[in-house]
A and B are shown apart, each in its own frame.
Chain A
Amino acid sequence: MHIHEKQRRMVSFGAATICTKLVSTSPNFLKPELVCPAGNLPALKAAVDAGGDTVYMGFRNASNARNFEGLNFNRDEAEAGIAYAHDHGARVFVAVNTSPGIYDASAWTSSIDMASELGADAIILSDMALLGYAKERHPRLRRHLSVQASACNHESLNFYAREFGIRRAVMPRVLTLDAIRDIGSRTSVEIEIFVSGGLCVMAEGRCWLSSYVTGDSPNMRGVCSPAHAVRFEEQEGTLEVKLDGVLVNRFAPDAPAAYPTLCKGRFEACGMEGHVMEDPYSLNALDMLPQIFDAGIAGLKIEGRQRGKHYVREVVATWRAAVDACAADPENYTARPEWMARLDATSEGGDHTAGAYVDEWR
Chain B
Amino acid sequence: METKATVIRDENSETAELRINMGPQHPATHGVFRMVLTLDGERVVTVEPHIGYLHRGSEKLTEGENFQQITTLFDRLDYISNFNNEWVYVRTVERAMEVEIPERAEFIRIILGELNRIASHFLFYGTYGLDIGAMNPVMIGFRERERIQALFEGVSGARMMHNYFRVGGVKEDLPDGFVPAINALLEHLKKGYEDAKNILTESEIFIERTAGIGALDAERTLDYGVTGPVLRAAGVDYDIRKADPYSMYSDLDFSVPLGSHGDCYDRYMVRMLEIEQSIKIIEQCIRRLPDGPIQGKVSRILRPPEGDFFVHGENPRGDLGVYLVSTGGTVRPYRLKIRGPSFSNLMALSSMMEGAYLADSTVILGSLDIVLGEVDR
A and B pair up: no
Interface residues of B (CB under 8 A from A): none
